[in-house]
Amino acid sequence: MRRYIAPFKKYLWGSVVLNILSAVFNIFSFAMIVPMLRILFRMTDKTYVFTPWNEVWSKPLKDIGNSLMQNVYYSLEANIALHGEIKVLLVLCIFLIVTTALKTACYFGSSAVMIPIRTGIVKNLRMKIYNKILSLPLGFFSEEKKGDIIARMSGDVQEVENSVAGSLEMLIKNPILILIYFAALIVISWQMTAFTIIFAPLMIWAMGIIGKNLKRKSLDVQTLWSDVMSQVEETLGGLRVIKAFIAEKKMSTRFDGVTEAMRKKTSRVTMRQALAHPVSEFLGTVLITIALFFGGTLILKGHSIIDAPIFIYYMVILYSIINPIKDFSKASYAIPKGMASMERINKILDADNNITEAANPVPLDGFSDSISFEGVSFRYPDGSKMILDEINLEIPKGKMVAIVGASGAGKTTLVDLIPRFYDPESGVIKIDGTPIKDVRIQDLRNLIGNVNQESILFNDTIFNNIAFGVDGATMEQVIEAAKIANAHEFIMEKEGGYQFVIGDRGVKLSGGQRQRISIARAILKNPPILILDEATASLDTESEKIVQEALDRLMSSRTTVAIAHRLSTIRNADEIVVMDEGKIVEKGRHEELIALNGHYRKLNDMQAL
């Protein structure tokens, strides 16, 4: 947590200074009670002796308080004799108002300077998580639930704000107040303070018992919160299926189970937190009662350790120290909750990114020869079966290579290795003879355009979706790309044209329209290498024809790697690669593969039925 607080050190020091001033002014404002009581009740028979100030500060700590009070009362007596009791009382009242105003101003200031820290920590934390999510490889997200990641960015960060960042003010203010008030108690009466302090460990022990295991229970609560968010995310994504299979009751029961488990865990944590205030209140009252009995006994027996006005002042300061201790105990409960959430956040922030940049990357300004796979094998990080096994393949510049095979054959994984969404377990992938691990990832991906089966669009305008990833794109360039993608006509029919907001994942567009926007985006990027991952697989016949025309324009004069289920779309490919269970089993043109009478012929015959 320290690394997130570091940028706000100046605010922390401001809070420290203002809290010190607030405590000092508070002591001085309470100190006005003593002379007021002496004047009101005419307790001025005693003769006071003035001690030079340089001698006061050279005395032992236990005697400084007595000497200070002697000097104050000496001055008061002199002023009362000179100006009268009423005028002196008026001055003391004005002084009380002024010190109280200064105290409250410093108190407000100390709280105000903490606001930029609290909001800044949360903002920086969210940005760190978001940027980490952007930088992590796709393999990380295949092992994590989206709902869980959303929960960590929302619920866990919110808990850190409420628990840790919200407790920072208490952690700065309360120790200062406790130290200054405790020093004042020693100065006023070290004997009473020594007696009272014996009972302080009891409070600390009791608070420790209540706070035990709070962090672990809070971690359980946040884990269950992730499960809740995951189910919400799954429900929103699968509403069509849920309704189609009349599974509303089943999903509701499932959701009720998770929320009930979370309710029980939250109740236990909240119960412990709720216990903090009454327990600290009770123990504080016990402490004050003990001091009241001890000090009252001394006064009633006529001991000269402390007199009535000083005793009242002592009790006011003692009561003032109880509140910071109670707040400190609240922070001791809140922080474990926040640290439990911080652990979950750090699972993302500390996640390893195995897609690393080369220490001295080779410049990659363009694509001039070929992409080659040499003995490439791959399996996912969870240690599952081999997805790709000893792949050897060359994709020459300007050629169209199609990859076909049954589901699970490894087609998508193969093309995902080209832009380094994953790195192979063994073997090497080269571009123009240079291993892609030796070039900058940004340079490599600048050469590649993607059009996927699922059109990944954003809840933004059509213009911004087409111009996505191309800095400074003009309207003319976007329109030209849309025309090539057969998208301009339907775009102009929308309200606002290119400024039409397409909704979440492009829900306001048809499947064919979404795909044409994706193609226009790839056209605008104008990459020399194009990856098509079953770009027409989910479209109806009419939409497929329109999209295929756009794809043909996009593929012209580009190196294309196309994954296809519909063999009719890749018959004219320069080379067709047939995959089965992670291996390349056949390669050749359409006619050659048909003549082999192997896997490709079988796929072709099945689609011809």
**Per-position DSSP letters for 364-407, written without gaps between them:** -----SEEEEEEEEE--TT--S-SEEEEEEEEETT-EEEEEEST
Same domain as 382, residue 322: no
Q: Which of 30-39, 282-291, 455-464, 542-551 has the highest mean pLDDT?
A: 455-464
CATH code for position 466? 3.40.50.300
Question: Do residue 336 and residue 434 come from a single domain?
Answer: no
Report helix, strand or coil for 580. strand
- Look at 58-67, 233-242, 409-418, 552-561 and tell me which has the smallest mean pLDDT: 58-67
Q: Let me know: does 404 contact 392? Beta carbons within 8 Å.
A: no
Range of the structural domain that residue 580 is part of:
370-608
Q: Is the pLDDT reported for residue 167 higher than 90?
A: no
Q: Can you tell me the mean pLDDT for 296-306?
A: 70
Judgement on whether residues 323 and 388 belong to the same structural domain of the protein: no
The answer to whether residue 365 is domain-embedded is: no
| Residue 607 pLDDT level (bands cut at 50, 70, 90) | confident
Residue, of 344 and 38, whose pLDDT is higher: 344
Please, what is the average pLDDT of the chain? 79
Same domain, 286 and 227: yes
Domain count, the chain: 2
Q: Please, which residues have CB within 8 angstroms of residue 117's CB and are 6 or more apart in sequence?
A: 5, 8, 11, 12, 15, 165, 168
pLDDT, tens digit (0-9, with 9 covering 90-100), for 306-316: 667 777 778 88
Q: Which of 349, 378, 394 is a domain's end point?
A: 349
Would you state the pLDDT for residue 430?
A: 93
Residue 460 lies in a domain: yes
Looking at the fold, whether 242 and 146 belong to one and the same domain comes out as yes
In this structure, what token pair is assigned to residue 195? 């007696």
Q: What is the dihedral of CA 17, 21, 22, 25, to 10 degrees?
A: 180
Same domain for 416 and 293 = no
Per-residue pLDDT at 333: 64
Nearest partner of 579 among 396, 403, 453, 422, judged by Cα? 403
In terms of domains, do 292 and 377 share one?
no
pLDDT at 64 over 90: no
Same domain, 420 and 329: no
Opening angle at CA 51, ends 49 and 56, nearest 5: 140
Flag whether 97 is in a domain. yes
**pLDDT confidence band for 373 (50 / 70 / 90):** very high
Give the full edge-to-edge strand order of the sheet including 426-431.
388-396, 370-378, 426-431, 434-435
What's the pLDDT score for residue 319?
A: 80
Tens of pLDDT, residues 169-185? 777 888 888 888 888 88
Average pLDDT over residues 109-124: 82
Of the two residues 479 and 158, the one the predictor is more confident about is: 479
Within-domain flag for 364: no
| DSSP reduced 3-state for 80 | helix
Contact 342, 160 (CB under 8 A): yes
Across-strand partners of 401? 561, 575
Among all chains, which residue has been given the structure tokens 């930088």?
Answer: 135
How would residue 303 be classed by pLDDT, with cut points 50, 70 and 90? low
The predicted structure's pLDDT at residue 12:
80
Q: Which residue has the higher pLDDT, 65 or 280?
A: 280
pLDDT above 70 (res 106)? yes
Residues 391 and 501 in one domain: yes
Mean pLDDT of 273-296: 75
What pLDDT does residue 179 have? 86
Asked if residue 411 and residue 303 are part of one domain, the reply reads: no
**More confident: 126 or 190:** 126
- Is residue 575 within 8 A of residue 394, CB to CB? The reply is no
Q: In CATH, what number is assigned to the domain containing residue 96?
A: 1.20.1560.10
* pLDDT value of residue 146: 75
Whether residue 226 has pLDDT greater than 70: yes
Express each pLDDT in 33-63 by its tens digit. Answer: 776 766 666 655 566 667 776 766 676 665 6
The pLDDT value given to residue 329: 65
Query: Residue 46 has what pLDDT?
Result: 60
Which residue did the predictor score with more confidence, 415 or 11? 415
Confidence tier at 254 by pLDDT (50, 70, 90)? confident
Q: The whole model's pTM is what?
A: 0.70
Determine, yes or no, domain membership for 363: no
Tell me, what's the pLDDT at 442?
A: 87
Least confident of 199-208, 246-255, 317-326: 199-208
**pLDDT value of residue 240:** 66
- Whether the pLDDT of residue 219 is over 70: the answer is no
Give how far the C-alpha of residue 522 lies from the chain's centroid of Cα atoms, to the nearest Å.
Answer: 33
Identify whether the C-beta of residue 58 lies closer than 8 Å to the C-beta of residue 214: no
Residue 362 lies in a domain: no
pLDDT at residue 190 tops 80 = no
Across 250-254, 312-316, 428-432, 559-563, least confident range: 312-316
User: Is 72 part of any domain?
Assistant: yes
Tens of pLDDT, residue by residue over 530-542, are 888 876 665 666 6
Q: For residues 374 and 345, state if they share a domain.
A: no
Q: Which of 349, 384, 406 is the last residue of a domain?
A: 349
Mean pLDDT of 292-320: 75
pLDDT tens figures, 351-362: 888 888 888 888
Q: Among 349, 379, 402, where does a domain finish?
A: 349
Residue 351: the pLDDT is 81
What pLDDT is recorded for position 609?
55
Whether 164 is covered by a domain: the verdict is yes
Six-digit token string for 6: 């570091």
Q: Residue 305 — pLDDT band, cuts 50, 70, 90?
A: low
Res 247 pLDDT > 70? yes
Which residues make beta-bridge pairs with 64?
none
Q: Are residues 345 and 375 in the same domain?
A: no
